[in-house]
Amino acid sequence: MPPRMRSGGRLVVIGGDAAGMSAASRARRLRPDVEIVVLERGDIVSYGACSLPYYIAGEVESRDDLIVHDADFFRRERHIDVRIRTEAVELRPRERTVVCRTELGEESLTYDALILATGASAVRPPLPGVDLPGVHTLRTVPDGDAIRDRLAELGADVAAHGAVRATIVGGGYIGLEMAEALVARNARVTIIELLPHVLATLDPDMSDLVVRELLDRQVIVRTETGVEAFEPGDDGSVGWVLADGQRLATDIALVAVGVRPNVDLAKKAGIDLGRTGAIAVDPRQITSEPMVLAAGDCAESPHIVSGRSTWVPLGTTANKQGRIAGENAVGGDIRFAGVAGTNVTKVFGLTVAQTGLSTAGAEGEGLAPDSVRITASTRSHAYPGGGRISVKLVFDPGTGRLLGGQLVGVEGVAKRIDTLATALAAKMDVRDLAGVDMSYAPPFAPVWDPLLIAANQAVKKLSRERVV
């Protein structure tokens, strides 16, 4: 059962970003009588990390635009005691105590309920030279500042080779968004990916569509290539990337090989981790310690398709879990429905989206999926503009149950991926999807929406009969 918070009790939240501030704000709305303390080791709370590539590109002009609310806002408007530059260094669940460190030393803070919202950190592999100046990761606002500062420094000193040479290690969503951002800053970009294709959460045939767009934008893509070291240039900053025995000249490098959940605090306190390595929680966000909850990028989620625990570090998940943890920490009793891993991103002129399981993801869960892929127009043939969109549906060949979907196209992708996410939540099969009454108007969609075309192809594959 969730904690039963006494009047005048204290809720401590560790972590001041999406999950943490959502939790604290929800708890305050429900319980004005409870003391709420948020411990944040950095200087900034409640910021939009997903906007960092656009900040670097210059589309988001000011770092202030990244910050939703500062610590003073929460103290003044919501009466939440936000303590920045305060790091939690030890949990003592039996004593209901947090040991935290500030610039003035260590202190102990007791709690009636505790929420862990410690987030995740960018992976920085232990490669030679990875700590050289000019080798960056991107996770926080200071990371974004550092990359912008480096590009500004380089802008005045590129006469020798005509443009900034940028190397991105990792072909995931951050790597591809940053490729576009760096091209916008007049950089020549090379992406190095260890796996056979970029965007490993997509099936290879859909990933190939993205690679074509990257190549058309003069981005070099090197897959099945491992980085061995970073080497300094003449000024001591990174000047070379050693990859599969080749030395590639570079002025700036971004390591974008993923993130890992920040679970050390929980692990040392004896709190159970799940199969993914993130903190195990029940549907109420409660950990193995009854008075400790966890939410956001440090915690697992139930997957609505596989039914198993998964780890999906997305801002949408963090905000939802934080809200649930905040309510339950002060006596509520609500549950998190789970995730489908729905995501969407922009890669130059394409929008790329996914929800549910890919073919490989389904196979990894012990399923034997089937799939269809179609390419269709985004608008009526008589209406100008528009373009092509590719839709892939992954489904169970026995029951027809929809397992996942992927879309790559020039427009209309976000609209349609949300339709598929809704279908997954409703546990629809491809026959149900084929019968959905989708909107039609020439500026927005053809009379047969691409999702309907794909669903009908899946039904045809199931029945081996032509579906009109």
- Please report, for the chain, the start and end positions of each structural domain, with discontinuous segments joined by +: 10-42+49-121+260-329, 135-257, 350-463
CB atoms within 10 A of CB 438: 16
**pLDDT bracket for residue 156 (50, 70, 90):** low
Rounded to 5°, angle at Cα 43 from 38 and 45: 50
Mean pLDDT of 346-353: 96
CA torsion 451→455→457→461, rounded to 10°? 160
Q: What is the mean pLDDT of the chain?
A: 94
**Nearest Cα to Cα of residue 355 among 287, 429, 423:** 423
The yes/no answer on whether domain 10-42+49-121+260-329 falls in CATH 1.10.10.60 is no
**Beta-carbon contacts of residue 181 (< 8 Å; ≥ 6 apart):** 53, 54, 56, 57
User: Which residues, in sequence order, are bridge partners of residue 240?
Assistant: 231, 249
Question: CATH top-level class for 135-257?
Answer: alpha beta
Q: What is the pLDDT of residues 32-68, one digit of tens each?
A: 999 999 999 999 998 888 999 999 999 998 888 999 8
d(CA 173, CA 360): 18
**pLDDT bracket for residue 189 (50, 70, 90):** very high
CB atoms within 10 A of CB 14: 29
Residue that the structure tokens 């669940």 belong to: 93
d(CA 357, CA 350): 21
Q: What is the pLDDT of residues 213-271, one digit of tens each?
A: 999 999 999 999 999 999 999 889 999 999 998 999 999 999 999 999 999 999 999 99
Q: What is the pLDDT of residues 21-32, one digit of tens each?
A: 999 999 999 999
CATH of domain 350-463: 3.30.390.30
Q: How far apart are the first and last CA of the chain?
A: 52
- Cα→Cα distances 129→121, 135, 236, 246, 282, Å: 19, 8, 11, 16, 41
Q: Do domains 10-42+49-121+260-329 and 350-463 have the same CATH topology?
A: no
Residue that the structure tokens 């440090």 belong to: 298
d(CA 316, CA 18): 9
**Beta-carbon contacts of residue 352 (< 8 Å; ≥ 6 apart):** 176, 199, 202, 206, 210, 344, 345, 346, 407, 408, 413
Pick the catalytic residue from 30, 44, 50, 344: 50
User: 50 an active-site residue?
Assistant: yes
pTM beyond 0.85, yes or no: yes
**Nearest Cα to Cα of residue 388 among 403, 369, 374:** 374
